[in-house]
């Protein structure tokens, strides 16, 4: 990731996750992002760790990969019952680069829990990088659409 710090040092604490540099940079580049990517990246809940619509702690449930016949892709993320009450689907339009990395394992293996993500302008539209514990997903596309979908979670915190 270029701006999101997955190993920040804040007030003497190390290993802290911090989107601060990204959030400082975002106003400078948001007008260069395609419409859907801009809406998702600038949503005030996106990087608010206490928000139910923060991407932190989601789990990748399913990926549909792009192909020559179908250049779009989708990533379906499952909620964390202790934090979210919605699942997230991201549709990537006209994908030009798609990579998933799992250290010490095949790409078909579960990449883990989302740490954070970062959306930046790209000559093809935008790039979206998702950091997992321990994997990564990197997509370059013309635009993306993020849709939160209500879900029923019997383990959800109530109250």
CB count within 10 Å of CB 100 equals 19
Look up the pTM and report it: 0.88
**Token pair of 46, please?**
């996106």
Summarize pLDDT for 64-122 with one digit per residue, the tens: 988 888 899 999 999 888 888 899 999 999 999 999 887 665 555 667 889 999 999 99
CB count within 10 Å of CB 71 equals 15
Residue 114's DSSP bridge partners are 132
SS3 125: strand
Place of tokens 């993306």: 144
């Amino acid at each position: 990731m270029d701006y999101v710090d997955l190993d920040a040092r804040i007030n003497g604490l190390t290993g802290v996750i911090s989107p601060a540099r990204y959030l400082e940079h975002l106003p400078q580049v948001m007008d260069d992002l395609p419409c859907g990517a801009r809406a998702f990246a600038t949503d005030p809940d996106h990087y608010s760790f206490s928000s139910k619509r923060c991407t932190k702690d989601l789990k990748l449930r399913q990926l549909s990969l792009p192909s020559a016949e179908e250049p779009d892709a989708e990533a379906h993320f499952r909620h964390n019952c202790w934090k979210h009450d919605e699942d997230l689907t991201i549709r990537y339009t006209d994908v030009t680069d798609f990579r998933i990395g799992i250290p010490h394992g095949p790409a078909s293996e579960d990449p883990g829990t989302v740490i954070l993500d970062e959306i930046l302008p790209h000559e093809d539209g935008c790039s979206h990088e998702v950091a997992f514990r321990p994997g990564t997903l990197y997509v370059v596309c013309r635009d993306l659409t993020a849709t939160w979908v209500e879900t029923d979670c019997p383990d959800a915190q109530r109250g």
